[in-house]
Amino acid sequence: MDHILMNTLRVNLQGRAYDILVGPDLLRRTGELIRGLGIGRRLGLVTHPALAETHGYAPLVVSSLRESGHEVRVVTVPPGEESKSLDQAACLCRELVRVGLDRGSALLALGGGVIGDLTGFVAATLFRGIAFLNLPTTLLAQVDSSVGGKTGVNLPEGKNLVGTFYQPRLVVADVLTLRTLPAREFRSGLAEVVKHAMIADAELFRTLEEDADQILARDPSALQAIIGRNCAIKAKVVEADEHEAGVRAVLNFGHTVGHAVEAAFGYGTVTHGEAVAYGMLVATSLSVRRGLCPAADAKRLEALLRRFELLPTASPEPELLETYIIRDKKVRDGVLQFVLTLGIGSVTLAPVSDRKDLREALHGVQA
């Protein structure tokens, strides 16, 4: 196997270690890449219609798998955040049973974060758990949701409130799939790239500032480099805290407010990246107010988000956002656990018991 054009990153979890493969034109090698994983012959490929029909990614994967001797059942679900629901999970389970999957089968998720989260959740629960492989086709999924084993679905009351930790057997990130992403969806993924730089890698942040033009032009080499670095950052955090009992919470930088923005607007109205970008601005504003973060770093963050066209053009009323924020999974005994920044490349976990600070930060970013 030619590894020259492919980055291989190992997520070292006891008994559940797996590789993340990053590179160009990997989907047509899927059958080759899954050899040795010990999965059954009958596979379920979960995707959405555009990837099966318009872009041709699903036929590419299916052809590769069949050449390797696998039977493949393709099941499509509607695109969009609305598909991350208990109703859709139940429909998917029933369809997979109907087409003949069993406990020896494996599920492959081909798509973005919605497909990955939904398929992972179904894999974790169908037949009490079957093998799961992730083939992310969006930047957001490649740098974030495909790594770490978080699966789940939304409720009307909030995002990702029902789910489990269930690690994939393999992640294959083909950077060429990013060429067909709509511009807004591509930029959405850049928010998570910026987030990883903010929490753990000041050098990556400088790279994003310096190479913004190449990144926005979707240069494959530039994308492979930043995706590999992002996966390495997330893998390190996941290895230290698989079930988010402690340090893994740093990955939620910008997400406490971001999830509230998504819920307040209605899922799908704003992109996840736009919501997280707004959340990072609020968290950084709160950090500056507490004297934790230099104001100059806050300005650099704002400038980079502006360069990537992620700054919000509108935001919900702060009072409405606060209603959703206090429902967040990170609230403990009525105290909100927030991820604040100490400056670019470093964060800390801090309780926010004084709602006045939060309200001022929300009003400040809205202004």
CA distances from 50 to 54, 260, 304 (A): 5, 29, 31
| Active-site entry in 48, 159, 195, 248 | 248
> In a 3-state reduction of DSSP, which class is residue 4?
coil
| Active-site entry in 48, 84, 150, 159 | 150
| Active-site entry in 128, 157, 332, 356 | 128
Contact 305, 280 (CB under 8 A): yes
What are the start-end ranges of the H helices in 110-244?
Answer: 113-125, 139-140, 183-200, 202-210, 212-216, 220-240
Residue type present at position 309: E
Contact 298, 284 (CB under 8 A): yes
| Active-site entry in 73, 187, 234, 300 | 234
3 is catalytic: no
| Active-site entry in 84, 259, 274, 322 | 259
User: What would the DSSP string read from start to end of 78-102?
Assistant: -SSGGGSSHHHHHHHHHHHHHTT--
Exposed / middle / buried, residue 346 (Cβ in 10 Å: 0-12, 13-18, 19+):
middle
Radius of gyration of the chain (CA): 20
| Active-site entry in 48, 195, 244, 322 | 244
Distant-in-sequence, close-in-space partners of 84: CB < 8 Å, separation ≥ 6: 114, 117, 118, 152, 153, 154, 267
Distant-in-sequence, close-in-space partners of 296: CB < 8 Å, separation ≥ 6: none
Distant-in-sequence, close-in-space partners of 53: CB < 8 Å, separation ≥ 6: none
| CA 300 to chain CA mean position, Å | 24
Contact 120, 151 (CB under 8 A): yes
55 is catalytic: no
35 is catalytic: no
363 is catalytic: no
Task: Please state, in angstroms and rounded to a whole number, the distance separating the CA atoms of residues 284 and 298.
Answer: 6
Residue type present at position 286: L
128 is catalytic: yes
| Active-site entry in 84, 252, 262, 274 | 252
| Active-site entry in 73, 84, 255, 300 | 255
306 is catalytic: no
| Active-site entry in 29, 159, 195, 272 | 272
Task: Please state, in angstroms and rounded to a whole number, the distance separating the CA atoms of residues 338 and 350.
Answer: 5
| Active-site entry in 29, 70, 84, 192 | 192
Q: Which active-site residues does the annotation give?
A: 128, 150, 192, 234, 244, 248, 252, 255, 259, 272
